[in-house]
Amino acid sequence: EDQVTQSPEALRLQEGESSSLNCSYTVSGLRGLFWYRQDPGKGPEFLFTLYSAGEEKEKERLKATLTKKESFLHITAPKPEDSATYLCAVLYSGAGSYQLTFGKGTKLSVIP
């Protein structure tokens, strides 16, 4: 069973059409939730870290929120350059150490 589930798997938006990406998790002992952007053939680029339920972070057209079970990445008035795969990762304490687990990502395509 996946511990980190991202939905939808793929999302196509018209330029300017706002939407949200979801990252749900089932781990306990959450230490942090991370959002990354990954362009094709590239390594992930850090966007946000969220540590506790109720926390919000913003950067340009992106806003990340966190609850006890999930996180949302809201994209307001997206532009074609926002097209990428967005990954979330959950850091939690387990087996005496920290574990970092990634979701499979949401591939966002923004059409001009």
Partner 1 sequence: GAVVSQHPSRVICKSGTSVKIECRSLDFQATTMFWYRQFPKQSLMLMATSNEGSKATYEQGVEKDKFLINHASLTLSTLTVTSAHPEDSSFYICSASVRDRPYEKLFFGSGTQLSVL
Q: Which residues of this chain interact with partner 1, rule CB under 8 A?
A: 4, 9, 31-32, 34, 36, 41-46, 49, 87, 89, 91, 98, 100-105
Pairing of strands 106-111, 10-14: parallel
> Please, what is the minimum distance in Å from the beta carbon of residue 9 to partner 1?
8
Decide whether 31 or 74 has the Cβ nearer to partner 1: 31
> Please, what is the minimum distance in Å from the beta carbon of residue 32 to partner 1?
7
> Please, what is the minimum distance in Å from the beta carbon of residue 53 to partner 1?
19
C-alpha span between 76 and 17 (Å, rounded): 7
- Mark 31-49 as b/e (b = at least 16 C-beta within 10 Å): eebbbbbeeeeeebeebbe
Decide whether 31 or 76 has the Cβ nearer to partner 1: 31
Decide whether 37 or 110 has the Cβ nearer to partner 1: 37
78 and 40 in contact (C-beta within 8 Å)? no
